Amino acid sequence: MEFKEFKEFKKKFTLRIHNELEKILVMDKSSNKILEPMRYSSLNGSKYIRSLLVYATGSALNLEEKFLDQPATAIELIHTYSLIHDDLPCMDDDDIRRGVASCHVKFNESSAVLAGDALQSLAFEVLSKKKFTEVDDKTQLNWVNYLSKSIGYEGIAEGQFLDLSINNKNAEIDFLNYIYSLKTSSLIKACIVMPAMLKVDLSNSIHNKFEEFGRILGISFQIKDDLLGYTISTEILGKTKNKDEIRNQPNYVNILGVDNAKKKLEDYKNHINELLIDMKIEKTMLFEISNYIFKRHF
């Protein structure tokens, strides 16, 4: 598949998800004021990688694009909510996000907390709305159930809790992997698994491979972030460089070193490509977007 084709795919669906978010975050004179921080954090500078994964998975499974808008939008709203809360002074205390002031800096802490809460609620409102008769009620309920679990005490919330509980460089790599599997992989998996739920004739073994693909890709995404934090400037990253070093927070680089972290990332990349071959979808946009994630510079 040519790079040009992937570039066009990325442009098309980046615009599509941006427009979907614009439609549900409409702000006019009569709007609730909380929409301002919600829009600010949702529509400023996102790469929309997670929603692109939703559309790429759907493309690999020959699903109609319109059926993917709800999970893609819901996941983007959840992701933005998690970033707003992640940046709060009581969490990672970061003043920069997506190249601009973090939500709590632009507005205030209470506004940021409430905007995050509202985005999470809105995600499930979007996901549970009946739009197409072709998407059965069971699938929509499974979407809500899976995404709820992905962000709760068995997912992002637990991962963030554990991440904040370790503050030295002596953490075992297996424990760090576990944190990454919760903090980052949980939502990445949802990007892969939720579109697959639309394919009702998908075998359990293939479904499990999609889930494993999402898990490994999520861990890889976080390892790549660890490496970028040491090699790319704050201006390009769009967030504070070396934040883990400042907070004395363990990550792949300060535990294994840059070279070994890169080697581990390459091992994961090979594993992911093997899974795609096993599922017979190696010549799809899912292959292209996963390799884009490994090659990205911000």
Extract the residue ranges of the chain whose pLDDT is less than 70. Answer: 1-3, 29-30, 168-170, 231-248, 298
d(CA 111, CA 147): 24
What's the confidence (pLDDT) of residue 30? 65
Q: Where are the domains of the chain?
A: 3-295
pLDDT tens track for 35-64 = 999 999 999 888 899 999 999 999 999 999
Q: How far is CA 38 from the centre of its chain?
A: 17
What's the confidence (pLDDT) of residue 235? 57
The number of beta carbons lying within 10 Å of the beta carbon of residue 57 is 29
| CATH fold group of domain 3-295 | Farnesyl Diphosphate Synthase (1.10.600)
Mapped onto helix, strand or coil, the DSSP state of residue 68 is helix
Cβ(218)–Cβ(187) below 8 Å: yes
Mapped onto helix, strand or coil, the DSSP state of residue 88 is coil
What's the confidence (pLDDT) of residue 229? 80
What's the confidence (pLDDT) of residue 103? 94
Q: Kindly tell me the burial class for residue 29, based on how many C-beta atoms sit within 10 Å of its own C-beta (0-12, 13-18, 19 or more).
A: exposed
